[in-house]
Amino acid sequence: MANKFRILSMDGGGLRGIIPVLVLQEIERRAKGKRIHELFDLFSGTSTGGLIACAVAVGADGKNPLLTLDQILAVYTEQGKDIFPSQSWLGSALTKITSLKRPEYSPAGLDKVLRDLLGHKRIADCLKPIFIPSYDLFNNEDVFFKSRHAMTDPTANSELYDVCRATSAAPTYFPAYDCSYEGKKRTFIDGGMFMNNPALGSIVEVSKYHADPIYNRPNLNFGDICLLSLGTGHYTADIARKKVESWGLLDWAKPITDIMMQGMNQAVTYETEELLDDGNFLRLTLQIEDPKYASMSDSSPQTRDYLIQETKNQILGNSTLMAQLDRFMQTVLV
C-alpha cells in the first residue's frame, strides 16, 4: 500500500460539480479523520473539476488545507446562482438572441466566487501536486497547469484564480480568458474542449515524471498507479433522429459541447480501465435521466436538489458501488 501512487481525477461539468464534491464528503467520512488532501498524491481536474482540485489541494499555511469540503460545496449549493444567474422567461429569450453574438453569461459572478474562495494563492501553495488542462487560442496549443512546472519556473506559478478561470472558460457560456503563463500572452478556453476527463493525462504525467522532486517516486512501477475518477453525470436520453437530420449550425452550437464532453468522458474511462491493473481504478458518476435537469448551467433549486438526491440514490446509496469504494479505500487510500 505504501508504494501506491494515488490520483484523484474530476471531470468538467459546470454546476454538476456538486456530484464529485458530495462523493468526496462521503470519502472523508469513511476515511476516519483523514482529509482529502491526505488521501491522494496528485489532484487533476478540468473546468469545474479543476476548481475542485485546486480547492481541495490548496494550503492555508503549507501544512493545513485552506478550505473544507463544506465550503467547496457551498459554491454549488449557494453561489451557483451568482455564477449562472437564473432569468425570467423574457430575459431568457433575450439571452438566446444576444448569445448568438456573445457569451451567454458574464464572468463577473465566477470572478468573485473564485477570488473569495482562493484569494491570491498560487499553484506552489498547494499541499499536493495539481494537473489542470486548458486550451490557448492565442498560441493554438494545449496547456497544462502543473505543480511540477510551478516549482521551478516562476512564470508557471500562476494564481489559482487564473488557473480556474482558464480551465473553465467554456465557449458559448463564458468569454475566453486572457492572462500570461510561462512568459507568453495567452487566450484560454475551457480544457474540456480536448480533455474533459483528465484521467489519462494525469497518468501520463506520473508515468514519465514520477522521479521528479515534486513526486519523489523514482522506483514507482506502473502497476502501482491508482486512480479514482469522479464524473459530473451524463444525460442518457438519445437525441431524436428526426430532430438531428435537419439541424444546422445554430441547432448544434450548444448540444455539441455536451455530446463531445460525454463522448470523451466515456472513451477515457474505457481506456483508463483497460490501462490500469485490476483494483487500481474506480469510476463514480451518475445518469441524468430527466432532460429538465441536464443543463450544466442550471442554478435553480430544483436542479440542485435533483442532483443531490440522485447522487445519494445512484452512488452513495448504491450498496454495490459503496462496497467497491470501500475496497478501493482499504487497498489504495487508507
Which pLDDT score, from 0 to 100, does residue 245 have? 72
Mean pLDDT in residue range 300-314? 97
| 137-159 pLDDT, tens digit each | 999 999 999 999 999 999 999 99
Contact 203, 225 (CB under 8 A): yes
Distance CA 313, CA 322 (A): 11
Q: Residue type for 73, please?
A: L
pTM, 2 dp: 0.92
The CA radius of gyration of the chain, in Å to the nearest whole number, is 19
Residue 235: pLDDT band (50, 70, 90) is confident
Least Cα distance to 267 among 198, 320, 212 occurs for 198
Cα angle 96, 97, 98; round to 5: 95
Residue 191: DSSP 8-state: T
Which pLDDT score, from 0 to 100, does residue 123 have? 98
Distance CA 246, CA 251 (A): 9
Which pLDDT score, from 0 to 100, does residue 241 have? 59
Which pLDDT score, from 0 to 100, does residue 1 have? 47
Which pLDDT score, from 0 to 100, does residue 333 have? 79
Burial class (CB in 10 A: 0-12, 13-18, 19+), 101: exposed
Residue with cell 453569461: 105
Which pLDDT score, from 0 to 100, does residue 252 have? 73
Q: Residue type for 57, please?
A: A
When the pLDDT of each residue in the chain is averaged and rounded to a whole number, the result is: 91
Q: Is the pLDDT of residue 177 over 70?
A: yes
SS3 state of residue 8 = strand
Contact 159, 132 (CB under 8 A): no
Q: Is the pLDDT of residue 100 over 60?
A: no
